[in-house]
Amino acid sequence: MKVLVTGAAGFIGYHVARRLAESKRCEVLGVDNLGDYYDAALKRARLAELEQFADFRFIRSDFADAVAFNGLHSHFRPDYVVHLGAQPGVRYSMEKPAAYTHSNLDGFASVLEACRHAPPKHLVFASSSSVYGAGAKPPFREDDNTDQPVSYYGATKKANELMAHSYAHMHGLHITGLRFFTAYGPWGRPDMAPTIFARAICEGQPLKLFNHGKNLRDFTYVDDIVDGVVKVLLYPPSTHPTPLTRTAQIFNLGHHRPVETRLFVQMLEQLLGRSAITELVPAQPGEIEETCADLTRIQTAIGFTPKVPLEEGLRRFVEWFRGYYRL
């Protein structure tokens, strides 16, 4: 089968593209603009890993360019689309909201339009636990109210879900959104907590722990994320007889075991064999104090259960981190 993966040079996109390509049952087309939000050398290194697979091809392109993306989509004619490309980061959305409007809103509209003109069997896209905002009580359930995201990033992901519902309803597209919960693992972005913390520990630099290190995060190992994405991909929403009953389906994809940031740092200290210099500071605007995924819906639908405990996942991350950064 033919699968188009946007954001293929990104963290989760790389892992999904790799899983599909190494299966030898998929022809995978990766799309990414290799943007400069963080060092593109890491993105190129991920692509170099993917180039070993005969069933993987890559095109450098901005999926928010509607004309270009529609052209490559219509030429490739994928059976499935996994849309993982986006502008990530909660804090950065306070500084550069235009980047989120471009990638997360205009970009997703471009993907939806291309799929409308040449419908795949299933479009799976990345949402985020950041859609759960003010008033959300863990564990977060998919039918909780998500009308008050506390960051612009979360607002764009909420908008994506609404856009998906509209295209499913009006055009009969089979669409699923996955609310990722704090993915981590090898090849992670340099702006993500594990890499920031590990680098500070190795270099003896002060490490700021917001909300005095009391934030709880549902850290989910990237292989578990990929398991969920690939399983969901093969289970599109049912075809409904009337437009009134068509909808996009939404699933949480997490680990259901939130951990305090302070404990997370302590685990890294043990694995790295070094002590952290921590600064306990107040909470940042736009952040949720605790995230925890209720997995009932996705477990019922596809039998998803996370397999990698945090202790093992961090060990694998540290092994990669030391090898890649030579620290």
Q: How far is residue 306's CA from residue 182's CA, in Å, rounded to a whole number?
A: 13
Q: Which two tokens stand for residue 85?
A: 């490309």
CA 133 – CA 57 distance, rounded (Å): 38
Report d(CA 301, CA 255) in Å as an integer.
16
Among 14, 100, 132, 153, the active-site one is: 153
Question: Crossing angle of helices 152-171/107-117, nearest 10°?
Answer: 10
Q: What are phi and psi of 139, to 5 degrees?
A: -75, 140
State the sign of the Cα–Cα–Cα–Cα dihedral 205, 188, 310, 89: positive
Residue 86: both structure tokens together: 């986006």
What gap in Å lies between CA 327 and CA 321, rounded to an integer?
8
Side-chain-facing half-sphere of 302: CA atoms under 13 Å: 22
Helix (H) or strand (E) holding 98: helix 97-100
Indicate if 153 belongs to the active site. yes
Q: 261 and 193 in contact (C-beta within 8 Å)?
A: yes
Place of tokens 């890993």: 49
Let me know: does 10 contact 84? Beta carbons within 8 Å.
yes
Per-residue tokens: 285: 């605007």
**216-217 and 259-260 beta bridge pairing:** antiparallel
Contact 297, 140 (CB under 8 A): no
Q: For residues 196, 202, 204 and 205, what is the CA-based torsion angle, rounded to 10 degrees?
A: -10
Active-site positions read 153
